[in-house]
Amino acid sequence: MRSFELICPAGNPAALRAAVDAGADAVYLGFRDETNARNFPGLNFSREDLAEGIAYAHARRVEVYVAINTYPQAGNLAPWHRAVDDAARLKADAVILADLGLLDYASRTHPGLRLHLSVQASAANAEAIRLYRDAFGVRRVVLPRVLTLPEIAQLNSEVEVETEVFVFGGLCPMAEGRCSLSSYATGLSPNRQGVCSPASHVRYEPRGKALASRLGDFTINVFGEGEQAGYPTLCKGRFVSGDSTAYLFEEPTSLNAMDLLPELKAAKVHALKIEGRQRGKAYIAHVVASYRKALDAFDKGMAVPKIDLEAVVEGGAQTTGAYKRAWR
């Protein structure tokens, strides 16, 4: 009996196979359009890709979850309805949804379809989770990355649905699904178009020996000579307030909760999620295999091996994020 389900990202069919082969219990993915929150050029799945991916995964007893987790556009619900219908038709094991209207549609139209609540719905308390369970029969909730371990434990003692938490990858310091920072700077929205700090609006400007990174009309960072220039994700930028220039919201860093497996188990978390649908198959294979190794050791009651993931984390820096109260 495994302590946790390991939920892994797949941005394309090759990444799906890499995740399955490296030991995922389930992979999550999205269609190639604005219906999912990782709507990046060259990523995601056609209907045919999904059918093949599901066949590959199911043959190896791995589940496939389809994220349809943006907020449908007023007056144009059809693409989102079609995404839910196709996921159901192709026998996805669950759909991951955020929008109330879409949850209502899915629960009425496909009563047998397993519904997970996306992190984009930002359900951070037991009352909110009860609403999603009672109204739509949601079976699992992906918790926003704003909760401490004691808060997660308390929540799991009160709700009857499974909870899934992020353990590795990019870290949103804001409550997900409630952030319009990217939309303010670029006009493209995580909630509406499924993109945050989109590459189409990124520019790098040499300034003498320095390099500025810009998003839309705004400078997000300026890197000195010899400093490694990172991607200008808005909330990981350097800004000026008062007299100080600093990473005001969050340093360029990745979440890594591998050291917290005992605490996550004690908190009765059901599933652990790795972030990174925009990542290549080598990254996916490495991170998933590392977590598989750690979880297998944990399941056998052995000490979790020290696994160095530093080479694949953003800016070479790792954090346990909101799980520890001091992060706040």
Summarize as ranges the residues that interact with other proteins (CB under 8 A). 71-75, 77, 98-102, 104-105, 121-128, 130-132, 134, 146-147, 151, 154, 173-175, 177-181, 183-187, 189, 191-192, 212, 216-222, 235, 238-242, 244-246, 248-249, 322, 325-328
d(CA 173, CA 151): 17
- Report the C-alpha dihedral over residues 131, 136, 142, 143, rounded to 10 degrees: -10
Closest CB to other proteins among residues 40, 249 = 249
Least distance to other proteins, CB of residue 11, Å: 25
Closest CB to other proteins among residues 16, 97 = 97
Residue 169 main-chain phi, psi, to 5 deg: 115, -160
- Reduce the DSSP state of residue 27 to 3 states and report it: strand
Tokens of 267: 């908190």
Least distance to other proteins, CB of residue 115, Å: 15
Closest CB to other proteins among residues 192, 268 = 192
DSSP string computed for 64-82: EEEEE-SPPBTTB-HHHHH
Closest CB to other proteins among residues 12, 70 = 70
Closest CB to other proteins among residues 55, 246 = 246
Q: Annotation-wise, does 172 bind a ligand?
A: yes
Residue 315 main-chain phi, psi, to 5 deg: 65, 15
Closest CB to other proteins among residues 56, 327 = 327
DSSP string computed for 183-209: HHHHS--HHHHS-SS-GGGEEEEEETT
Least distance to other proteins, CB of residue 158, Å: 10
Q: Annotation-wise, does 8 bind a ligand?
A: no
Least distance to other proteins, CB of residue 319, Å: 12
Q: By the 8 A CB rule, do 36 and 300 touch?
A: no
d(CA 13, CA 142): 23
Q: By the 8 A CB rule, do 288 and 18 touch?
A: yes
Least distance to other proteins, CB of residue 273, Å: 18
Q: Token pair 């493209």 is at which residue?
A: 188
Edge to edge, what strands does the sheet with 202-207 contain?
202-207, 210-215, 218-223
Closest CB to other proteins among residues 178, 286 = 178
Residue 264 backbone class (left: φ over 0; alpha: ψ -120 to 50; beta: rest): alpha
Distance from the first to the final alpha carbon of the chain: 35
Least distance to other proteins, CB of residue 107, Å: 11
Least distance to other proteins, CB of residue 63, Å: 26
Binding-site members for [4Fe-4S] cluster are: 172, 179, 196, 235
Binding-site members are: 172, 179, 196, 235
